[in-house]
Amino acid sequence: MAQLWKGRFKKELAKETNDFNSSIKFDCRMFEEDIKGSIAHATMLGSAGIIDKSESEKIVDGLSQILDDIKSGKLEIDMQAEDIHTFIEGELTARLGQTGKRLHTARSRNDQVALDIRMVLKKEIDEISNKLKELISVLCTKAEENTNAIMPGYTHLQRAQPITFAHHLMAYCSMLCRDLDRLTDVKRRMNVLPLGSGALAGTTYPIDRNMVAQALGFDDVAVNSLDGVSDRDFCIELASALSIIMVHLSRFSEEIIMWCSWEFKFVELDDAFSTGSSIMPQKKNPDIAELVRGKSGRVFGDLTALLTVMKGIALAYNKDMQEDKEAIFDAVDTVKMCLNAFTPMIDTMTVLKDNMRNAAAKGFINATDCADYLVGKGLPFRDAYKATGELVALCIDKNLTLETLPIEEYKAVCDIFDEKVYEAINLEKCVNDRKAIGGPTAENVLAQIEKARKIIV
Ligand code: ARG
């Protein structure tokens, strides 16, 4: 396909140059936004009297037909074109002749591409936000079913203090709610119209940028034309928000992988979301969680690519910036794919409450509560801590737990112990006493669930 910029050139473009230069293979996904942006631009050109109203109407009709034809499959996008902008304008001119050639008045591909990416990414943010909301909703339901499922909470991957599975799940919910908030924020800053910045220095035509902004749902217009065409902060910000989402999904995946192991056996994944081994008949592998954990690397790579592409280029547009699309689209697609697989995996997993409860009973996770019991009887915390440490060592020697250690042994270490200690170290009580906001009691967790559900409506 012919280039739009042929006038100055005497020779045809070398095939290698065309292949290298062309972005159609990855910017073709912006066809709808490119056409809608052009429709708004052409309408404005007509209304501002920059082109004839009748020609503007013909252009708008022509563009609408091209959009329908691409959507219905009647018109195939030419993969030899330089980019989607060239293809659409070329097709319009092929259909309308001279009138089609007026579309690009007061515009450059530099502000056009900046517009298109923003429009595409705004839509993608909405889609990803909805997927995050689905995951949050699944977590809330799972948590609601498990407010009394006691499990060991860990630090250093060592059993630490008793919590509930619901509380643990809702920790991820808090992260995902922040992710949602970050996406909203990114979208707000992205929602500024670059069109009208021209190639770099604005335009001499009396354009109405606010009219275009309004037609395309932008809150504002870019106030500096150089920045308007050369800003890709919104790609970097989105890739960064997506990277943080992947950090969360990856940490969650790591826990799912551990919980599925025979060593933990806290959950069992549904057959539909696990895979087998080609040689070991007994295997049921958490491949989805592993792949999500692995794919986080891709998204971080996309963010690094964007930062690196942008860091050294002088104002305003440079062709380096064409690299933005593959990186940000890959990040968007990867996150969507991960969420599509991850959410139903969580939704269908079976929670093995008894195994969690058994694990909680074995790791001295009520030792802090035992010390707190002594504090309640007047002992300074440091002394209570030391006495409890001695009791733990005694239990390990005798292969007992704090629950099964006889009261005489308690008294031998510290004579203020009495039978009530068994009540104090009861795991249910240990959880239920952690009443301060943010703690694992059922009441607190239900409040977290209620708050999260309000966020996702
Ligand atoms: N395909 C180009 C890109 O993605 C469109 C802008 C081209 N502008 C230019 N001055 N060559 O960045």
Q: Closest Cα partner for 128 from 343, 291, 321? A: 343
Cβ(139)–Cβ(173) under 8 Å?
yes
Mutate to test the pocket of ligand 1, among 34, 319, 328, 329 (most ligand atoms within 8 A of CB): 319
Query: What residue's CA is closest to ligand 1, atom 2?
Result: 322
Mutate to test the pocket of ligand 1, among 13, 230, 322 (most ligand atoms within 8 A of CB): 322
pLDDT at residue number 283: 73
Tokens of 409: 């042994």
Cβ(307)–Cβ(236) under 8 Å?
yes
pLDDT at residue number 167: 98
Ligand 1 centroid to Cα of residue 56, in Å, is 25
Q: Residues near 116 by Cβ (< 8 Å), separated by ≥ 6?
A: 27, 30, 33, 34, 37, 84, 85
Helix (H, G, I), strand (E, B) or coil at 1: coil
The sign of the dihedral angle between the CA atoms of 342, 348, 349, 352 is positive
pLDDT at residue number 281: 75
Does the annotation count 156 as an active-site position?
yes
297: amino acid identity, one letter:
G
Ligand 1 centroid to Cα of residue 110, in Å, is 6
CB within 6 Å of ligand 1 — which residues? 23, 27, 83, 109-110, 113, 317, 319, 321-322
Query: What residue's CA is closest to ligand 1, atom 11?
Result: 319
Cβ(314)–Cβ(343) under 8 Å?
no
Atom of ligand 1 nearest to the CA of 321: 12
Give the span between the Cα atoms of 208 and 353, in whole angstroms. Answer: 63
Give the span between the Cα atoms of 217 and 195, in whole angstroms. Answer: 13
Ligand 1 centroid to Cα of residue 445, in Å, is 51
Q: Residues near 341 by Cβ (< 8 Å), separated by ≥ 6?
A: 273, 288, 291, 292
Ligand 1 centroid to Cα of residue 104, in Å, is 14
**Active-site choice (22, 72, 156, 250):** 156
Please give the biggest Cα pair distance in the chain.
Answer: 101
Q: Closest Cα partner for 376 from 388, 365, 364? A: 388
Mutate to test the pocket of ligand 1, among 8, 26, 30, 83 (most ligand atoms within 8 A of CB): 83
pTM above 0.85, yes or no: yes
In terms of DSSP bridges, do strands 350-351 and 267-268 run parallel, antiparallel, or are they unpaired?
antiparallel
**Active-site choice (47, 64, 261, 277):** 277
Query: What residue's CA is closest to ligand 1, atom 10?
Result: 110
Burial of 30 (0-12, 13-18, 19+ CB in 10 A): buried
The sign of the dihedral angle between the CA atoms of 104, 109, 114, 119 is positive
pLDDT in tens, the chain (457 residues): 567 767 778 788 888 888 899 999 999 999 999 999 999 999 999 999 999 999 999 999 999 999 999 999 999 999 999 999 999 999 999 999 999 999 999 999 999 999 999 999 999 999 999 999 999 999 999 999 999 999 999 999 999 999 999 999 999 999 999 999 999 999 999 999 999 999 999 999 999 999 999 999 999 999 999 999 999 999 999 999 999 999 999 999 999 999 999 999 999 999 888 887 777 777 778 999 999 999 999 999 999 999 999 999 999 999 999 999 999 999 999 999 999 999 999 999 999 999 999 999 888 999 999 999 999 999 999 999 999 999 999 999 999 999 999 999 999 999 999 999 999 999 999 999 999 999 999 999 999 999 999 999 9
Ligand 1 centroid to Cα of residue 214, in Å, is 25
